[in-house]
Amino acid sequence: MKPSPLKVTSEIGRLRSVLLHRPGKEVENLTPDLMARLLFDDIPYLKIAQEEHDAFAKVLKDNGAEVLYLEDLAAEALEDKAVRESFIDEYLKEAKIPGDGTREMLREFFLSMDVKAMVAQTMAGVRRTELPREELKFLSLADRLDTDNPLVVDPMPNLYFTRDPFATIGTGITLNHMRTETRNRETLYAKYIFQHHPRFKDCDVPFWYDRTETTSIEGGDELVLSPSVLAIGISERTDAASVEKLARKLFSDERSTYKQVLAFNIPKKRAFMHLDTVFTMVDRDKFTIHPEIEGPLQVFSITPNSSGIHIEEERSTLETILAKALGLDKVTLIRCAGGDPIDAPREQWNDGSNTLAIAPGKVVVYSRNYVTNQILQDHGIVTHIVPSSELSRGRGGPRCMSMPLVREDI
């Protein structure tokens, strides 16, 4: 086996390789009736969202990062016909198509395409008008009763938040079990990429978590603080049981360097959906934070012991807990919009605390969070500001939109 091509031992090491997904037709298959089920509060304008995403990718490239795209890696992983058929069978099973006739027609529809078009279509979902109407064969009652639905397969508009379906920790990944059925399908792409893509398939990539688990965990709750300390949010999307499972795996696998997991119990609400929507690392000793989580926040330290794990609630201030975990004298918490009672919740809603570090003290941020951006600059942080009027409608910031594969050690 070749060594793992992944290495992420901090949140702030210089970014060398990163996975993105450029928003596609899946965004245009959102409707007002679908928004709640597909976890959107609004419908982004795709043309502008793509322009903003391209500007984001350009900042990463201009600062030395290799930018890879989920859609490209997935297509390259599915070049083999048998692998492609296996993927489509699994995809259709998880899409829960009710009728046998519709399911078989969809299988033929996808497999008739070239692989790049097929991948794009699986991401976009399928409108009923895209299927050859004259070939409809109503083989079951379910086929007959489902014909009023304009979408035969739901789109996956959350895909441009590549952080969540899988996450790099050290030289391995968590292939996540997502909270909602609509997002759990997204993890299929990572499964096939790591099993079949030439870049990964013959490498020793540990799986710290697997999508077949029954409790949920999402990448927005996983923050790599150092080569030995991981922070994980217990959130609207990540279960406490998943944190324990991950900690046990990290502590027992000789390929892991992790000795401590800090579990952050954050309020379970839409505005705080993941830990990285309220807390991110911007420098060796500096973090952004949304002030509303500081009061109710509980932090538990999980460490290995002879019976597996030891769990202890931390009673110190968050600054003290972080400084101790990182071996520092002190850390600075930079509050979203300075903690202003009006500006902070407004900018938090638009991911003012969701920064992506591309090197120590250098971060990518959304333009619309100008109050927080100025405060970051006042603390000596270099801000690479990207446009964000449409991307932000999905409730995710620069960290959400990126999955680092390789960072330099610090």
Question: CA-to-CA distance for 161 and 220, rounded, in angstroms?
Answer: 9
Do residue 44 and residue 88 come from a single domain? Answer: no
pLDDT value at 247 more than 90: yes
| Residues in Cβ contact with 63 at an 8 Å cutoff, skipping those fewer than 6 apart | 15, 358, 359, 362, 384
Please indicate, yes or no, if residue 92 is contained in any of the structural domains. yes
Model confidence pLDDT, tens digit, residues 260-314: 999 999 877 655 678 998 999 999 999 999 988 877 789 999 999 988 899 999 9
Q: Residue 314, class by beta-carbon neighbours within 10 Å (0-12 exposed, 13-18 middle, 19+ buried)?
A: middle
Q: Which of 111, 135, 153 is the last residue of a domain?
A: 153
Please indicate, yes or no, if residue 2 is contained in any of the structural domains. no
Question: CA-to-CA distance for 94 and 68, rounded, in angstroms?
Answer: 26
Q: Which of 120, 153, 186 is the last residue of a domain?
A: 153
Do residue 169 and residue 94 come from a single domain? Answer: no
Model confidence pLDDT, tens digit, residues 62-105: 999 999 999 999 999 999 999 999 999 999 999 988 778 888 88
The pLDDT of 142-170, averaged and rounded, is 86
Question: CA-to-CA distance for 214 and 254, rounded, in angstroms?
Answer: 25
pLDDT value at 54 more than 70: yes
pLDDT value at 31 more than 80: yes
Q: Which one from 400, 401, 405, 406 is the annotated catalytic residue? A: 400
Q: Which of 136, 153, 170 is the last residue of a domain?
A: 153
**Residue 136's pLDDT band (boundaries 50, 70, 90)?**
low
* Residue carrying the six token digits 């999508």: 211
Comparing CA positions, the residue from 367, 398, 361 lying closest to residue 381 is 361
Please indicate, yes or no, if residue 4 is contained in any of the structural domains. no
Do residue 246 and residue 315 come from a single domain? Answer: yes
Do residue 334 and residue 207 come from a single domain? Answer: yes
Model confidence pLDDT, tens digit, residues 190-209: 999 999 999 999 999 999 99
Contact 391, 316 (CB under 8 A): no
* φ/ψ (deg, to 5) at 85: -65, -40
Give 20's strand partners.
69
Average pLDDT in the chain: 92
Do residue 344 and residue 379 come from a single domain? Answer: yes
Do residue 248 and residue 143 come from a single domain? Answer: no
* Residue carrying the six token digits 């998880």: 94
What's the pLDDT score for residue 271? 57
Domain total of the chain: 2
Q: Rounded to the nearest 10 degrees, what angle do helices 81-95 and 100-111 cross at?
A: 140
The pLDDT of 37-64, averaged and rounded, is 93
| Residues in Cβ contact with 57 at an 8 Å cutoff, skipping those fewer than 6 apart | 20, 22, 67
Do residue 64 and residue 201 come from a single domain? Answer: yes
What's the pLDDT score for residue 294? 78
CATH number at residue 144: 1.10.3930.10
Question: pTM for this one?
Answer: 0.94
Question: CA-to-CA distance for 280 and 295, rounded, in angstroms?
Answer: 17
User: Within 13 A of 310's CA, how many CA atoms are on the CB side?
Assistant: 8
Please indicate, yes or no, if residue 55 is contained in any of the structural domains. yes
CATH number at residue 385: 3.75.10.10
Do residue 339 and residue 275 come from a single domain? Answer: yes
Contact 280, 290 (CB under 8 A): no
Model confidence pLDDT, tens digit, residues 370-396: 999 999 999 999 999 999 999 999 888
Range of the domain at 141: 72-153
Q: Which amino acid is at 123?
A: M
Please indicate, yes or no, if residue 332 is contained in any of the structural domains. yes
Please indicate, yes or no, if residue 5 is contained in any of the structural domains. no
336 is catalytic: no
Please indicate, yes or no, if residue 190 is contained in any of the structural domains. yes
Do residue 385 and residue 260 come from a single domain? Answer: yes
Do residue 317 and residue 392 come from a single domain? Answer: yes
| Residues in Cβ contact with 133 at an 8 Å cutoff, skipping those fewer than 6 apart | none
Question: CA-to-CA distance for 369 and 387, rounded, in angstroms?
Answer: 10
Do residue 95 and residue 208 come from a single domain? Answer: no
Question: CA-to-CA distance for 38 and 124, rounded, in angstroms?
Answer: 13
Contact 182, 37 (CB under 8 A): yes
Contact 264, 277 (CB under 8 A): no
**Residue 146's pLDDT band (boundaries 50, 70, 90)?**
low
Do residue 279 and residue 396 come from a single domain? Answer: yes
